A and B are shown apart, each in its own frame.
Chain A
Amino acid sequence: MKLLNKSLKYLSISILLIVTIWSIIFYINMLDEIQDSIDDGLENYKVLILQKVDTDPSILKKSFFDESNYAIREIGEKRALSMKDQYRDTLMYMQDEDDLEPVRMLTTAFEHKGDFYELKIINSMVEEDDLIEDLFWSVFWLYVILVVSIILINNIVLRKLWKPFYNFLNQVTKFRLGSTRDLPNISTDVKEFNMLKNAVNSLLQHSLETYQHQKQFIENASHELQTPLAIATNKLELLLEKGNIESEQAEGIAQVLQIIERLIRLNKSLLLLTKIENKQFFDQQNISLNRIVQQTLEDLEEFATFKNVKVTIHEHTDLNVEMDPALANIIVSNLIRNAIFHNLPQGNVSVDIKTDMLTISNTGKREPLETDKVFNRFYKSSDKKMDGTGLGLAIMKAVCNLYGFRVSYRYLADRHCFEIQFKNSQEKVER
């Protein structure tokens, strides 16, 4: 839920509560005030009537309300003495409304020349249900207006206030270690946002440093390994060359040599990967992929024959790409080599060159590779007997990332299919 809506939710609930409580209190107070002022009026009438009784005793006979608002009737002394002024809400038939309407009635007693009388004075009252209804609608509209204004204010003010935040968030979302150069910035004088920026940036700075160190470490380690590896292979080669060793021992040495060679390959691949990620390939040229594919196939011809794999190439168009020639070679040869190596005897490889697209598909193991892991470093399929470096596809993916090409894998109709989209080939590499 967006912050805007969340605050709106809480605000509308609390406003509803506040307005309801307020209107109840207001209603009670108002009713009280109305009764008070009616009672005062009735009291005044009483005084006026008592004065009138002295001048015009005929009104003592007026025992019905009729057109006026009072009635008098004679009562016993005892009852009169026990009576006090009493204000009461009651209902009375009103001619105009043709209905019983609420009235306020004062019942009191007085003495006139030794006789005792009861006096009832009425005054019409507000109709409570009308009042409540009126009040309800006013409160309702007040509430609606409040909520609508809050929504408007929220939308305008909050949106404006949070704009730098969303802007910053957008920058952070797009931030990529190693490829984004500037740290995300925020232009506001809001203290909280600036604090957030500082916190995020120091975190990013730290990640960047770690990332740099990690890259540096891999590069340095690989370089430092080159010389000892060179010494080890060369010494073993010399030892084998010297001869006069038991063939059993020679076999052992040969095995060690092979292990060292594997180490060398691994090391070289890691170095290459680091170089690609460090963008140390700057030789941008317009390259014909058709030519590179043909060359690679020529180089791998004997392999294909040896593995009994048939390679066919379908050139639908001339495909030219702006990139480093060495890297172009790497992606093409990695893909084609994999397609030949991980094939079946009597299998086939098909290379398709279309507009902006290179597709290489091959027969092979009859189950798909794990699509989400296939480009990971050191990914090895369940096929244990292969002891490649596990970096070939990772290197290819790194090259594609460098140039913004899209590479994908799918398993379709018993064929493993790798596809490179060169759509972004126009975009220059960030240096």
Chain B
Amino acid sequence: MKLLIVEDEEELLETIATSLAKEHFIIESASDYLTAMDKIRMYDYDCILLDIMLPGGSGLQVLEELKQSQKSENIIIISAKDSLDDKLIGLELGADDYLTKPFHIAELNARVKAVLRRKKLDGKHTIELGNVVLNLSERQLSVNGEIVALNRKEFDVLNYFLLNINRLITKSALAEHVWGDNIDQADNLDFIYYQIKNLRKKLQTANAVIEIESVYGVGYKLVEK
């Protein structure tokens, strides 16, 4: 899988690249408009992370170019501007997702994977890991072929973990992804712990070979036993 990151802020580019490299993607980068245009004309990518405000031009122009050349890359816009207009224009021009800075690396990771999976739909809407199968269209979890009842939020949590196997998910990244902006108060951390505890119990009783590990009290990590 080949990814292009278009971002003018070197430091951010570097951290994104480091994070995505852990998922065994091949990473290329461009830090201005012209380099980005050159690269998309010359090569094909599976996914492009695109900043809108670039030195020398706009990310939206890059999008237009891609649309005209009928390339079917997956594009995720990453922008500092949380503007509905930009979002709508971007999505209209063929972007697949829109992520506002600042974001958690787990979130970016999940978005990239979700976009990639959506594009290479081979009729199966499931994520499998060991004896665990998560059916996305039915919203069901089965372990060893047996269905384990999850509530709506537990399903979302597990889905998020399965998009970030072996990666750290901080409590606030989890809260933001699953509970949205609705949770931004101090006691969210206890709450997340309580939710994870329930999910762990369910996975354990079903003898799943996956486990949610605690990481320094700041977050969690899904690992295969």
Interface residues of A (CB under 8 A from B): 223-224, 226-227, 229-235, 237-238, 240-241, 247, 250-251, 253-254, 257-258, 261, 264-265, 268, 271, 280-281, 283, 296, 299-300, 302-303, 306-307, 326, 333, 337, 341, 385-389
Bound-state CA distance A389–B9 (Å) is: 28
Tell which of B101, B102, B172 has the most Cβ of chain A within 10 Å. B102
- The minimal Cβ–Cβ distance linking A246 to chain B, given in whole angstroms, is 10
- The minimal Cβ–Cβ distance linking A237 to chain B, given in whole angstroms, is 5
> 1/0 per position for B84-111, CB-CB distance to A under 8 A?
1000000000000000111111100000
The answer to whether B19 and A234 touch across the interface, beta carbons within 8 angstroms, is yes
Q: Which residues of B sit under 8 angstroms from A251, Cβ to Cβ?
A: 216-217
Say yes or no: is B80 at the interface (Cβ < 8 Å to chain A).
yes
Among the listed B11, B83, B184, B194, which residue makes an inter-chain contact with A231, where contact means beta carbons less than 8 Å apart? B11
Contacts A227-B101, A240-B216, A303-B182 known; list 9 others, CB within 8 Å. A231-B15, A240-B170, A240-B215, A247-B216, A250-B218, A264-B102, A283-B84, A296-B182, A337-B185
Q: Which residues of B sit under 8 angstroms from A302, Cβ to Cβ?
A: 153, 191, 195
Bound-state CA distance A231–B187 (Å) is: 25
Q: Which residues of B sit under 8 angstroms from A300, Cβ to Cβ?
A: 182
Minimal Cβ-Cβ distance residue in B for A254: B218
Say yes or no: is B168 at the interface (Cβ < 8 Å to chain A).
yes
The answer to whether B217 and A227 touch across the interface, beta carbons within 8 angstroms, is no
Tell which of A224, A226, A247, A251 has the most Cβ of chain B within 10 Å. A226
A–B pairs, 12, beta carbons within 8 Å: A227-B101, A231-B11, A233-B102, A237-B173, A240-B215, A241-B215, A254-B217, A257-B170, A264-B102, A280-B83, A302-B195, A333-B181
With contacts A229-B102, A238-B15 taken as known, whether A265 is within 8 angstroms of B182 at the C-beta atoms is: no
- The minimal Cβ–Cβ distance linking B111 to chain A, given in whole angstroms, is 14
Minimal Cβ-Cβ distance residue in A for B219: A240
Q: Which 4 pairs across A and B sit closest by C-beta, in order of nearness?
A: A230-B102, A254-B218, A250-B216, A226-B80
With contacts A250-B218, A257-B170, A299-B179 taken as known, whether A226 is within 8 angstroms of B184 at the C-beta atoms is: no
The answer to whether A226 and B84 touch across the interface, beta carbons within 8 angstroms, is no
Say yes or no: is B163 at the interface (Cβ < 8 Å to chain A).
no
Say yes or no: is B183 at the interface (Cβ < 8 Å to chain A).
yes
Q: Which residues of B sit under 8 angstroms from A227, Cβ to Cβ?
A: 9, 12, 80, 101-102
